[in-house]
Structure 1
C-alpha cells in the first residue's frame, strides 16, 4: 500500500502549523503570500493529494474535466468544440485546463478537477504520439478517454486519426492524376504521425509497382525545410511530378521553391499537404490540397465514449477516425 501524505507531513516539512497548512490548501483565512506559496510548493513536492469523500465521488455533478497538452490550441480547439457540442446536449459542462505538456502540471490539474467532483475526464494530446496512461489513483476512479494522443495501455479508451490511411490516400490521389515520379518531404522521423503517414504512403507505392523518385527527406515541420528539401531535390536533378508533404507548412515551402525554379503547380508538379490548417493551406500562392484530421469528430467520438463509460458501458482500445482529403488548386481537378 502506498503512503498517503498528510497535513502533518506538509506542516513538518514547511515548518508551519497544521492549521496554517489547512488554510493554504483550502484557500481560506489570512496568510502571507510567501507562506501560501511555500506550503503549496511543499505539498506538490511531497506528492500530496487532496482527499475526496466517497459521497463526492458517487455524486454526479455534470462536470467533465478536459486537460490538454496542446500549447497552441491548433489541435485542441477543434476537438474541444466537438466534445462540447456532444456534452452540451446532455447538460454537461467542461472544465478546461492546459498542462503545457508537463506531467507534474497535468497531475495537479487532474487532481484539482477530481476534487471538484468531475464525472469523467478527457485527456487531449497535441500530437498522435502515444502517451502514458493516467495513474488510477490520480484520477480518483473517474472514467478517462484519451483523444488524439492515444494511451499506451491497450485496455484504455482512445480516439485518434487514421494517419496510415491518409498516407495511402495521398499517394493514390497523385497516381490517379498520372503522377509517377513522386517524392515525400517529412518532418522529424521520430513522430508517430510521420511513421504512420509514411507507412500508408509506402503501402500505396508498393501496390502501384513503382518506387519513390528519391529517399524520404526528413527535417523540421517548418516552411523553411519544405523550401530546402525541394531545392535539394531539384539541384540533384531528381525528376519530380508529385510531392507529398507531411504537413501544410512543408507544402507551402515546396510550392514556393517550385515557382522559384520556374515550375508550375499543379501543371508540372502536384503538391499535397496535411493538417488542413486554413491559415497555411489557403493563404498562399496556390491553395494546398490537404488532409483534414477531423478533429471535431475525434472530440465528438471521445465525448460519446466518455458518456458511455459514465453510464457504466466503457469502451476499450483505440478508435481511428479517418482523415478527409480537401482538394484545392495544388493538385489537378
Structure 2
C-alpha cells in the first residue's frame, strides 16, 4: 500500500528534478509540444517511466480547453457497420490519445437527442455520426463542436459526410462480370427507397451501357436478406431458357449468399453457369458462402480513419469542410465469379 501511495504522489516537479529540466519542459516533452531537442525529450520520458509518473488528464484538459474525448452516435445496434468504422476511428484518434464514447440511438430521435445533450454536457471535442446503412439521415443540426457524418449521408449539404462511392463500386462489379465473359446481367438489391440501392443501380446501368454487347436482363428489388436472394434466384430461373442471365450483381453479400444457395439448389453452377458478385465484403457472409463470394469492399475501416482524421483536424483549428467525400471501393475476388477453364 505504501508503494501505491508513493507512486500516486509523483509530480511533474519530481520528473523535472530527475531529468534535470524545468517543469514546463516536462509538460512539453510528455505532450509532444514545443521545440525540444530529441535528447531532452527522451530524458524526460525515461525519467517519467522510472518514476511511474501518470499525467493529470483533468489538469491537462483544463489548461488546453479540451477533454480528449470524441462522441460516436450510431443507430446500428447490431454493430455490422459500427464496429469496423469504430476500429478505423480509434486507429486515428489513438495517435492523439483521444478516447471514444459510443452511444446507440437505435434510430429513435428522442434517444438520439438525449445522447447528443449528454455528449455536449461531457464537453466532448467532436462527434462522429453513423448508422445502419449508407443512406441519407437527418442532420443533428448546428452544434458548437465539429461533427462528421460517416457512411450515412447528412441531409444538410453544409455538413461533412465521409462515405463510400456506391456508383463506382457497382461499376467495378459490372466491369468484372464483363471481363469474365458475362453479357446478360441482372441487378438484385434491397428496397428501392434506400439511397444505396439507387446509387448502385445507377453505377450498374452506366457500366452496362459502356460495355458493347452487354445487356440488362432484369432489375429486382426486395429485402436485405438471404431469403430474398433465394427468392430472386427462383424468379430468375423461371425466365425462358434463352432469356436467362449469366451474371448477377447483388446489392449486399446477404442477398448474394441467398442467391447462390438458390441457384445451386436448382442445379445451376456458380460460377460456371452464372457468375455472382456481392457488396459489403462482410466476411461472415462472403467467406462462408459456397462458393465464397466475390464482392465489393466499401473499406469501412478506412472510412472510419478518414472521418476521424478530418474531425481531429477541425478540433485542432482546421477547416472541417462540407458536402460528400466519397471514397472508392475495391473488388475482392473469390470463387463465385470466375468460371473454370
Query: Could you state the TM-score of these two structures normalised by the residue count of structure 1?
Result: 0.79
Tell me if the contact between 1:213 and 1:239 (Cα under 8 Å) persists in the aligned partners. no
Q: Distance in 1 between matches of 2:335 and 2:287?
A: 10
Runs of 4+ off more than 6 Å: none
Q: Where do residues 119-198 of structure 1 align in structure 2 (5 Å cutoff)?
A: 119-136=125-142, 139=143, 141-198=144-201
1:272 counterpart residue number: 277
Could you say which residue in structure 2 is the equivalent of 1:301?
306
- 1:162-216: CA deviations, max 9, x gaps? 0000111111100011110111111111111100111001000111144644331
2:323 to 304, 317, 320: 317
Q: Does 1:205 align with 2:211?
A: no
Match of 1:289 in 2: 294
Residue aligning to 2:106: 100
Choose which of 84, 87, 110 in structure 2 pairs with 1:78.
Answer: 84
Q: Secondary structure at the match of 1:183?
A: strand
Please provide the CA RMSD for this pair.
1.6
Q: Which residue of structure 1 lines up, in the alignment, with residue 252 of structure 2?
A: 247
Q: What is the Cα deviation at residue 135 of structure 1?
A: 2.3
| d(CA) in 1 for partners of 2:317, 2:216 | 52
Alignment correspondent of 1:232: 235
Which residue does the alignment assign to 2:58?
none
Structure 2: runs of 5+ lacking an equivalent: 1-60
Aligned partners of 1:65, 1:166: CA distance in 2, in Å?
Answer: 30
Rg bigger for which structure? 2
Unpaired runs of at least 5, structure 1: 1-54
Larger displacement relative to structure 2 (119-128 or 213-222): 213-222
State the TM-score, normalized to the length of structure 2.
0.78
Distance 2:294 2:218 in 1: 22
Aligned equivalents of 1:287, 1:123: Cα separation in 2: 32
Asked if structure 1 preserves the Cα contact closer than 8 Å seen for 2:69 and 2:100, the reply is yes
Provide the residue aligned with 1:263 in structure 2: 268
Distance 2:262 2:218 in 1: 19
Question: 8 Å contact 1:59–1:117 — kept in the other structure?
Answer: no
